[in-house]
Amino acid sequence: MQKESDENIILFVGSYPPRECGIATFTKDLTDAIDKKFYPYAKTKILAMNNNGLNIYNYPKKVIYQLSDTSLSDYVKIAEKINQNKSIKMVSIQHEFGIFGGEYGEYIIKFLKILKKPKTITFHSILPKPDEKRRQIIKDIATNVDEIIVMTQKGVEILENKYKITTPIRIIQHGIPTTGFESQKRLKKHFGLQDKIILSSFGMISSGKGYEYVIRSLPKVVKKYPNLIYIIIGATHPIIRRREGEKYRNMLGEKIKELHLEDNVKFYNKYTTLKEIVGFLKATDIYISPTLTPEQITSGTLAYALGCGRTCISTPFLHAQDLLKADRGILIDKFKNSKSFEKAILETLADKNKMEEIEQNAYAYTRQMTWPNVTISYGETIKKYIQMPEICFEQLPRINTSHFRRLTDDFGMIQFAKYTTPDLNSGYTLDDNARALIVATRLYKKSRSINSLKLIETYLKYIQYVQDSEGKFHNIVLKDKTINKEYFSEEAHGRAINALGYLSSIQSLPKRLKENARHLLLKSLNITKNFTTPRAIALTITGLYNYNKENYSDETLNIIKEYANKLTSLFEKNKTEDWKWFEDKLTYSNSKIPEALLYAYIATQDKYYLDVSKITLDFLVSVTFKDNIFVPIGQAGWYKKNGKRTYFDQQPLDAASMVQTLTLAFKITKDLNYENHMLSAFQWFLGKNTLNQVVYNEQTGGCHDGLGKYSINLNQGAESTLSYLTARLTVDEIL
C-alpha cells in the first residue's frame, strides 16, 4: 500500500491525561480510536490545555503543544506555530466553557481567528437559554470553524434555533468502549460483592452531581433490600478540591451516618481507569444519574452505563431524555427529589423481567456509539482534509480467536450463542463444524500452533461422528449428542467435502489427520452423484479441487468437470438478458457458485468455466454493491427473478463468501475491480455497511449475527463468528 510521504497530523485541542477531567478522558479515547483506525495515513497529536498556568503535567509524547488557559498572548503564539507546521492538516477543538480562558472561555475565539488550518469544534455543553454574552461567544466560535460536531439532535436544534448558527453541524454520538453483554455475576464475584444488589454512580465528584438525593432515598429501599449497596465511584474534581477541599464528599459522609447507611453506601475515591469503570458498571444492577443540571446536553457517564447494558435511572436532563426513551431506561420526573428516586428504585428492583428488557434495549441501542463506530463518523470529516484509502490495512483488527474457542467444547462447535454465551441447547451442526475445520486448519497453516491442531482434531472427529455407514454426512446433532437422521442437507454434505478436501491439501499437517480426512471424503463421494442444489454441487467441486492438488487422479478431475457442467447447465437454463444467474432467485452465499467454476477453470483450464464465472459474478456484484458499499441480499424474502430484492437482514456469511470469491477472481484475472470490491465486502464487517455499524466485535472476537434494518443482532453465534474469521484470514492472502 502507498503511504503518504509527509505526516498527516490531526491536532486535537483540549485537556488530556494525566489532567483529571471528563474532556481529557474523552480526548484520549477519541484520538486513540482514530489512530487505531487511520494510522499511518493520519495520526493525532495534542495541544493540551493547562489550568491557570499553575499546573504542569507529565504528558506523553503525543502532546506536542501546551497552552496556559489564562494567557491570551499564548493563544496567539500557539496559533501561529500551528500555521507554520505543514504536517498539521486539520485541528479539532474539544470545547467546554471551563477549559478555556477569558470570560466564558472567550480566548478561544482569538485562537480560531488566527488559525489558518481547517478546523472543527465539538461542543460538549450547549446552554439552551444562554445570556447574550454566551450566545455571542458561541456564534463567534461557530463563525470561525468549518464544521461543528454535537452529540444529540437536541444540540442541533438549540444551535440553529437559539443561537442562529449557520455553520454546518454534524451529529456524532458520545463514544463508548466496546464491551460484551453479560450478566452482573462475574464482576460481582470479582469485587467480592456476589451477594449484593449494586447501585452505582461514577464521575468526578462535585456538588452538582446530586448524590445526596440518592442517599436520602435509600432508607426505605434498604429496609426491603438490606443487601443493597450504593457505590459512588470517582475522585473529587481537582478544581473543586483546590477551591473547597472535600467539602461536598464530607457532607455526603455526614448524611450517610445520619441515615445509618454506613453498610449500604460506599465511596471508591480515586481517578478511575477505563478498566475499573467498565468493571464496576458490569457489576451494577442499577446505574443512577442524579445530575442537577436540566440543560446538560452530554453525559459520558450515562452513555458508558448504557453501553454496558445496564438499567439506568436518571433525572430528566436533556441528554438523558434522548438516551433513555423507548424503554432504554427510567426517567424520574423531578430534580432534587429523593422520593422520586425511592419510588423508581423500588419499582425497578421489583420487576426483574423489566430490568432485563431495559438492559437489552440499552445495549442494542448503544452499539452505534462504540468507539469504532464513532471513529467511522469522525472519519467522514477527516477525509475532507486528508486523503486516505477506503481501508487502512495496516490497522486491521488482529486475529482474535477467543470467541471461536469459547464456542467449542470437547465435542465440537456449538451452533448458537445468547449474546456471547454459548447456547448448548442449540446443539451442533455439520455446517458450523466443517467451517470451523477450515478456519482451524488455516490458523494452523499460519502459525503451526498446537492449540489449532487440537481444534482440527475436534472438528474432524465431529465430521467422522456424523457420517453413517453409507457415507452420508448428517447435519444436526442434539445437545445429548443424538444425531438427527431424519433430515439430510445436500449442502451440509458438500460443505463437509469442502472442509475435508482443504485439510487433505495442507502439507504441514500430520499424515494421520490427512489420511482420516481422505478416507471420510472418498467414502462420501457416492452420495453426491444425485445432488441437485447448486451450492452443494459448488462446495463439492471446491473440496475436490483442493483434494486433487495433493491426491491427483484423472477420476477426480472428471468428477470436477461433470459437476461444473451441472452448474453451467443451470446457468444456460435460467439466464436471460437481464438475469445472468444459475437459479431464478438470489438467496445466501450466492458467490460460492461462480467461485466453484473458478476452481474448475484452474483444474481443467476450460475457459468456458471462467467465462460463466465472470458473467455471473459480475451480475452478482452489480446487484449487491451500491456506491462501493456491499449490500448482500436480505434473508427476508431474498431476490426473485422479475421481483424486488430485499435488503435485510444481511448476514455475515454473505460478506465472507464474497470476500473469498472476489479474492480468487482477482488472483486469476488480476482485475483490480475484483480486488476493490473484495476490500469493500470485508469492510462490511468493520462498519462500511447500510447502518454504518461495526458488525465484528473486536473485544470478544465474535461477530454479530446479522445486520437488521435498524440495528445489529446482538448474538454472536458460530456461523457469524466463523464468517468473520474466514474473511479476515482471506484478506491476509492479498496483503
Helix (H), strand (E), coil (C) string for 154-209: HHHHHHHHCCCCCCCEEECCCCECCCCCCCCHHHHHHCCCCCCEEEEEECCECHHH
Give dist(CA 32, CA 39) in Å, integer: 10
Judge if 454 and 352 occupy the same domain.
no
- DSSP strand pairing (702-703 vs 696-697): antiparallel
Has residue 219 been placed in a domain?
A: yes
> C-alpha cell of 458?
475436534
Give dist(CA 597, CA 565) in Å, integer: 9
- DSSP strand pairing (625-626 vs 629-630): antiparallel
> C-alpha cell of 67?
497552552
Judge if 542 and 609 occupy the same domain.
yes
What is the residue whose three cell numbers read 493547562? 50
Compute the residue count for the chain.
735
Please measure the distance between the N-terminal and C-terminal CA atoms of the chain and give it in whole angstroms.
Answer: 9
Judge if 410 and 495 occupy the same domain.
yes
Judge if 557 and 605 occupy the same domain.
yes
Judge if 152 and 122 occupy the same domain.
yes
pLDDT, residue 390, reads 67
Judge if 355 and 408 occupy the same domain.
no
Has residue 180 been placed in a domain?
A: no
Q: What is the pLDDT of residues 665-723, one digit of tens each?
A: 999 999 999 999 999 999 999 999 999 999 999 999 999 999 999 999 999 999 999 99
Closest C-alpha to 42, from 8, 1, 6: 8
Give dist(CA 698, CA 700) in Å, integer: 6
Closest C-alpha to 699, from 453, 389, 479, 372: 372
Has residue 481 been placed in a domain?
A: yes
Has residue 2 been placed in a domain?
A: no
Q: 3-class SS at 719?
A: helix
Residue 548 burial by CB count (10 A; 0-12/13-18/19+): exposed, middle or buried?
A: buried
Has residue 287 been placed in a domain?
A: yes
Q: What count of Cα atoms within 13 Å lies in the side-chain half-sphere of residue 528?
A: 30
Q: Are 706 and 654 in contact (CB under 8 A)?
A: no
pLDDT, residue 642, reads 95
Has residue 385 been placed in a domain?
A: no
Judge if 163 and 193 occupy the same domain.
no
Judge if 417 and 518 occupy the same domain.
yes
pLDDT below 50 — which residues of the chain? Answer: 1-5
Give dist(CA 661, CA 655) in Å, integer: 10
Closest C-alpha to 229, from 258, 188, 269, 190: 188
Give dist(CA 537, CA 544) in Å, integer: 11
Closest C-alpha to 524, from 464, 600, 459, 478: 464
Angle of CA points 421, 422, 425, to nearest 5°: 125
> C-alpha cell of 194?
456476589
CATH number at residue 81: 3.40.50.11930
Count H helices, E strands: the chain? Answer: 28, 22
Domain boundary among 369, 384, 415: 369
Closest C-alpha to 125, from 239, 293, 329: 293
Distances (CA, A) of 126 to 97, 121, 162, 321, 378: 9, 12, 10, 15, 20
Q: Are 71 and 99 in contact (CB under 8 A)?
A: no
Judge if 404 and 332 occupy the same domain.
no
Cα torsion through 504, 659, 400, 491, rounded to 10: -50
Judge if 160 and 233 occupy the same domain.
no
CATH number at residue 250: 3.40.50.2000
- DSSP strand pairing (585-586 vs 639-640): antiparallel
CATH number at residue 639: 1.50.10.10
Has residue 665 been placed in a domain?
A: yes
pLDDT, residue 536, reads 98
Cα torsion through 176, 177, 183, 186, rounded to 10: -140
pLDDT, residue 1, reads 34
What is the residue whose three cell numbers read 475522585? 235
Q: Rg of the chain's alpha carbons, rounded to an integer?
A: 29
Strand partners, 418: 421
Domain boundary among 324, 353, 369: 369
| DSSP, residue by residue, 98-138 | GGS-SGGGTHHHHHHHH--S-EEEEES---SS--HHHHHHH
Give dist(CA 4, CA 583) in Å, integer: 46
Looking at the structure of the chain, the number of domains it has is 3
Residue 635 burial by CB count (10 A; 0-12/13-18/19+): exposed, middle or buried?
A: middle
To the nearest 10 degrees (0 to 180), the angle between helices 22-38 and 300-307 is 50
Domain boundary among 369, 404, 427: 369
pLDDT, residue 681, reads 97
**Cβ of 686: how many Cβ atoms within 10 Å?**
21
227-244: b or e for each residue (b if 16 or more CB lie within 10 Å)? ebbbbbbbbbbeebbeee
**Cβ of 378: how many Cβ atoms within 10 Å?**
23
Secondary structure percentages of the chain, helix, strand, coil, to 5: 50, 15, 35
User: In which domain, by residue range, is 563 found?
Assistant: 396-734
Has residue 329 been placed in a domain?
A: yes
Give dist(CA 133, CA 138) in Å, integer: 9
Q: In sequence order, what are the residues at sequence separation of 6 or more whose Cβ sits closer than 8 angstroms to the Cβ of residue 203?
A: 22, 209, 233, 234, 301
Judge if 307 and 427 occupy the same domain.
no
Give dist(CA 482, CA 484) in Å, integer: 6
Q: Kind and range of the H or E element at 29?
A: helix 22-38
Judge if 268 and 410 occupy the same domain.
no
pLDDT, residue 2, reads 35
